[in-house]
């Protein structure tokens, strides 16, 4: 057993699965009916306790990490689970799908990520929608609550943590040259560009940019506070007048984003 404790003191008691560890971070939610392997490996959920509102999760298990088109993972959005924890209503104990090689419980254990089931996710989601993203901590029974502090990941440069460390080229024979700045890029964003005939060069978040190196510039979305990405902002300002710039970002509790900073 374990307890989800929110920063305002409210508690949600549930059954532990996955890794037997306590963790803290931001509590957020997603409303998709399917796609938990993609969501958990999405760098945008770095250090977040991800709540899935669909009542039954894990029913189609977890597929093998096969290499697909352009050398990208066929099923996942990155090379690892980025969410700090998973919070759900009910876990399917017996997954059934042709692509499944393991259960969600097994997969989380392999990555050291805890899960909590038996939670009223409707109540939790309503609370988050009314009050905004909240800090929370998942505390396993037997662990002193005070030993698990509320961690605010927005005080760190999460983009730096998830960004590729070295440039990497996908579909090198593509006719259109696209440079994608990795602020937490998803594999499918790369795939979509490459499938349309682009040679995609993915560069780290703070990589210097030269307008002569590409025909178009793509800035991915990612986790955390964009104000930490001043290096990205300054690099884009230097080339913005000379090329097509496309921003990809998702709504968060931050009113600003890279586009507005730029």
The number of beta carbons lying within 10 Å of the beta carbon of residue 132 is 10
Instruction: Look at residue 244 in the predicted model and tell me its pLDDT.
Output: 58
Question: Residue 259: pLDDT above 60?
Answer: no
Strand partners, 17: 115
Helix intervals (H) in the chain: 36-40, 104-111, 121-131, 158-162, 187-195, 230-239, 258-261
The pLDDT, as a whole number, for residue 242 is 60
Q: Distance between CA 141 and CA 16 in Å, rounded?
A: 9
How far apart are alpha carbons 229 and 232 in whole angstroms? 5
Q: 198 forms bridges with which residues in the sheet?
A: 176
Looking at residue 176, its pLDDT comes to 95
Whether this model's pTM surpasses 0.95: no
Q: What are the pLDDT digits (tens) for 168-220?
A: 999 999 999 999 999 999 999 999 999 999 999 999 999 999 999 999 999 99
Q: Evaluate whether 224 touches 159 at the Cβ level (below 8 Å).
A: yes
Fold of 159-247: Rossmann fold (3.40.50)
Alpha carbons 51 and 47: distance in angstroms, whole number = 13
262/257 Cα distance (integer angstroms): 9
pLDDT at 257 over 50: no
Other CB atoms closer than 10 Å to residue 178's CB: what's the count? 24
Q: Give domain 2-153's CATH architecture.
A: 3-Layer(bba) Sandwich (3.50)
- Return d(Cα 256, Cα 253) in angstroms, integer: 9
3 state SS of 244: strand
Nearest to 52 by CA among 150, 119, 141: 119
Number of Cβ within a 10 Å radius of residue 259:
15
Instruction: State the Cα–Cα distance between residues 243 and 177, nearest whole angstrom.
Output: 11
Q: Is the pLDDT confidence value at 20 over 60? A: yes
Averaged over 84-113, what is the pLDDT? 97
pLDDT digits (tens, 9 = 90+) for 132-171: 889 999 999 999 999 999 999 999 999 999 999 999 999 9
Residue 53 has pLDDT above 50, yes or no: yes
Please report which confidence band the pLDDT of residue 240 belongs to, taking 50, 70 and 90 as the band edges: confident
Find tokens 């040679």 and name the residue. Answer: 199
Whether 251 shows a pLDDT value over 60: the answer reads: no
| Residue 142 CB coordination number (10 Å) | 9
Q: Where are the alpha helices (DSSP H) in 168-241?
A: 187-195, 230-239
- b/e code 179-205 from CB counts within 10 Å (16+ = b): bbbbbbbbbebbbebbeeebbbbbbbb
Measure the CA–CA gap between 20 and 93, rounded to whole angstroms: 17
pLDDT value for 29 = 96
Domain spans of the chain? 2-153, 159-247
- pLDDT mean across residues, the chain: 92
Q: Are 193 and 218 in contact (CB under 8 A)?
A: yes
């Amino acid at each position: 057993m374990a307890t989800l404790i929110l920063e305002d003191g409210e508690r949600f008691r549930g059954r532990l699965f996955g890794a037997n560890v306590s963790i803290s971070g931001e509590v957020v939610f997603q409303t998709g009916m399917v796609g938990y392997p993609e969501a958990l490996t999405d760098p945008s959920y770095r250090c977040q306790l991800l709540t899935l509102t669909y009542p039954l999760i894990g029913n189609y298990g977890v597929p093998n990490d096969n290499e697909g088109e352009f050398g990208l993972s066929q099923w996942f959005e990155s090379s690892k689970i980025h969410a700090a924890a998973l919070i759900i209503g009910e876990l399917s104990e017996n997954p059934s799908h042709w692509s499944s090689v393991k259960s969600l419980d097994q997969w989380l254990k392999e990555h050291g990520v805890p899960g909590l089931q038996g939670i009223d996710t409707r109540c939790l989601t309503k609370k988050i929608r009314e009050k905004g993203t909240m800090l929370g901590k998942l505390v396993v029974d037997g662990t002193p609550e005070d030993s698990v502090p509320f961690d605010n990941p927005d005080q760190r440069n999460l983009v730096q943590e998830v960004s590729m460390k070295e440039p990497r080229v996908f579909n090198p024979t593509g006719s259109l040259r696209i440079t994608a700045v990795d602020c937490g890029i998803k594999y499918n964003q790369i795939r979509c560009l490459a499938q349309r005939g682009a040679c995609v060069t993915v560069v780290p978040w703070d990589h210097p940019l030269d307008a002569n190196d590409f025909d178009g510039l793509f800035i991915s979305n990612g986790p955390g506070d964009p104000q930490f990405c001043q290096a990205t902002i300054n690099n884009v300002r230097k080339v913005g007048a000379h090329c097509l710039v496309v921003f990809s970002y998702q709504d968060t509790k931050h009113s600003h984003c890279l586009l507005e900073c730029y």
